[in-house]
């Protein structure tokens, strides 16, 4: 499953079995695909799918109040815990952004007020 979209399709497909499935959930508006933003990675996957043995699928989600309430309930009951990599105080937002842009984050980066 690719959520960030900052790796090539070849790199994402490499660990899959020949009949494995790559699920592209989102993406970033990086230098690659800046025009299409997050949709660029899904478009690349759709274009490559007919030519590779693995299945490449894209998933899009539009938040709605029912889904957000469901997630909030899971978090309130301790059944869903977000992975926080680091926290930064509000005054250090530039450092937090450099950390994220450097590709180091292995979870969410939170800003404290």
pLDDT of residue 34: 57
**Which of the four pLDDT bands, split at 50, 70 and 90, describes residue 38?**
low
What is the 3 state secondary structure string of 8-39?
CHHHHHCCCCCCCEEEECCCCCCCCCCCCCCH
Domain boundaries, the chain: 9-58, 77-112
List phi, psi (to 5°) of 9. Answer: -60, -35
Q: pLDDT at residue 74 above 90?
A: yes
CA angle 104, 110, 111 (to 5 degrees): 120
Is residue 70 pLDDT above 60, yes or no? yes
Nearest CA to 4 among 80, 106, 99?
Answer: 106
What pLDDT is stored for residue 37 in this prediction? Answer: 64
Q: Region 6-32: what's the mean pLDDT?
A: 79
pLDDT band (50, 70, 90) for residue 99: very high
């Amino acid at each position: 499953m690719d959520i960030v979209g900052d790796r090539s399709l070849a790199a994402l497909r490499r660990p899959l079995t020949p009949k494995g499935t790559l699920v592209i959930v989102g993406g970033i508006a990086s230098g690659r695909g800046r025009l299409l933003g997050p949709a660029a990675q899904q478009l690349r996957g759709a274009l490559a799918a007919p030519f590779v043995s693995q299945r490449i699928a894209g998933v899009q989600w539009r938040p709605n109040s029912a889904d957000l309430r469901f997630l909030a309930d899971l978090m309130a009951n301790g059944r869903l815990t977000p992975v926080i990599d680091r926290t930064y105080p509000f005054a250090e937002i530039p450092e937090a952004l450099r950390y994220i842009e450097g590709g180091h984050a292995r979870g969410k980066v939170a800003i404290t007020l």
